[in-house]
Amino acid sequence: MNIYKKYPTSPKLSRYIKGYHVADQKVNELTVQSPPTGYPLLGHIWKGIGTVDVAGETIPQMKPPVNHFSGQLYRTNASVHWKGHIGHILAEFTATGLYELFGIYGDTLVNRTAPVSETASEFAAVLQAKLNGVKDTDDYLICLQQALKWQAAKAISAPDFVVKAVRLIEEAYGDIKLKHLIEELNIPERTFRSALLQGA
């Protein structure tokens, strides 16, 4: 059963957002298992959340509406328990999108979920203001994209060598040696490692 329906990103946001995933349906009780992932997420929950377990720890129950950032899952899974309804939209960032849009380093969110208001309060207010007028499922996607386009006007750029490294890694589906990357990028290994550890 496909719970989430996929939607493409807009050309104006393709540098930052890979695409969207939307779920809106009634359920009795449903547990969604999220496998390890390489990309962080921005989400809005409007109905039905129960609990979230990440790496064996239960995140305190969230009462909708909830706007959240969820980081890369590293060597673990997440279990999301829904009750009565699942109403959830996710924007999946590109490898550098979270940093470029919000100045947030990926390593700060690994195996974590955090309220958007704690890390991007101005954006959280803009997003919530747009969501207040939502009437149907399609509106959630429209509102989220509008808020992200607003944020994109303030975006910063990741270093060129990081953008190139991401492209090389993705083109090789992760099967690439560090030595080859360093040679292609023509930068000191220490500089490259530092950038990767920060998640920029």
Burial 30-50 (b: 16+ CB within 10 A, else e): bebeeeeeebbbbbbbbbbbe
Give the residue among 66, 67, 69, 50 at the shortest CA–CA distance from 111.
69
- Is the model's pLDDT at 164 over the cut of 80? no
State the pairing for strand pair 66-70/113-115: antiparallel
Taking only the tens place, the pLDDT of each residue in 84-122 is 899 999 999 998 899 999 998 888 888 888 899 999 999
Strand partners, 6: 21
Q: Answer yes or no: are the C-beta atoms of 105 and 199 closer than 8 Å.
A: yes
Residue spans of the domains in the chain: they are 5-152, 160-198
Q: Is 178 exposed, middle or buried (0-12, 13-18, 19+ CB in 10 A)?
A: exposed
Lowest mean pLDDT among 15-29, 135-149, 151-165: 151-165
Report the pLDDT value the prediction gives residue 197, as an integer from 0 to 100: 57
CATH code matching the domain that covers 5-152, chosen among 3.30.470.10, 3.40.50.300, 2.60.120.10, 3.40.190.10: 2.60.120.10
Sequence-ordered strand ranges (E) for the chain: 5-8, 17-34, 41-54, 57-59, 66-70, 78-93, 113-115
Q: Which residue has the higher pLDDT, 34 or 196?
A: 34
Report the pLDDT value the prediction gives residue 78, as an integer from 0 to 100: 82
* Segment of 46-60, 102-116, 158-172 carrying the highest mean pLDDT: 102-116
Encoded tokens for 92:
């999946």
Q: Answer yes or no: are the C-beta atoms of 43 and 58 closer than 8 Å.
A: no
Report the pLDDT value the prediction gives residue 24, as an integer from 0 to 100: 93
Average pLDDT, the chain: 85
Q: Which residue has the higher pLDDT, 134 or 49?
A: 134
- Is the model's pLDDT at 149 over the cut of 60? yes
Q: Which residue has the higher pLDDT, 165 or 84?
A: 84
In this prediction the pTM is 0.81
Give the residue among 5, 13, 10 at the shortest CA–CA distance from 90.
5
